Chains A and B, each alone.
Chain A
């Protein structure tokens, strides 16, 4: 079965600083990968998904971008963080019937 790694686990960044969150997947090849965000008091919102290397689809307009440089690596980035980027970021991988989730990164922008 798939194992999803995310780092860092927590991050505190100042407004205007850059961001790079990394997700790697083990136990599968050519998976569909997803980035979700949970803002305070809200549900999980799909930000990006990828069906292959270099293929990124954005679900909502925002200050973030995603990249997939390798088959099992998915990166979430920002050039300049906003306060509204604070939240809990989850990486997910498509399984046979559902999605498997990583442990998440808690980001606080001050």
Chain B
């Protein structure tokens, strides 16, 4: 069965610190990978996605993620976080048809000014 594991449940950073959130998935077939973000009081929204091609994908607000097939990983990075990045981040994988998404448990990021 497919599963997604996010390594950090809570992360606290100061502004300008670098961020890396880990995500590993288990699935034997072709997968599409996503990072979603939920800012306080807002809808869950797409941050970035990987379908194929360049394994380094760039998303909104300066975020990027790297797909490493051999490690089944899709880690999210940002070189310098801002207070406005405080949110909950979810890694997800789609596979097996009907665009069903399997989510990780989420990581709550708090950025202090």
Say whether chain B's binding surface is mostly helix, strand, loop, or mixed: strand
What residues of A have a CB within 8 angstroms of the CB of B27 in the complex?
none
Contact residues on B (Cβ < 8 Å of other chain), bracket: 20 to 34
> Between A and B, how many residue pairs show CB distances below 8 Å?
50
With contacts A34-B100, A43-B103, A46-B101 known, is A98 near B90, CB below 8 A? no
Kindly provide the distance from the CB of A3 to the nearest chain B CB, expressed in whole angstroms.
10
Do B45 and A49 touch (CB < 8 A)? no
Do A59 and B45 touch (CB < 8 A)? no
Do A49 and B100 touch (CB < 8 A)? yes
**Which of A46, A57, A59, A101 is in CB contact (< 8 Å) with B44?**
A101
Q: How far is the CA of A97 from the CA of B45 in the complex (A)?
A: 13
Q: How far is the CA of A44 from the CA of B37 in the complex (A)?
A: 12
Do A49 and B90 touch (CB < 8 A)? no
Do B4 and A43 touch (CB < 8 A)? yes
Question: In this assembly, does A106 line the interface, its C-beta being within 8 Å of a C-beta of chain B?
Answer: no
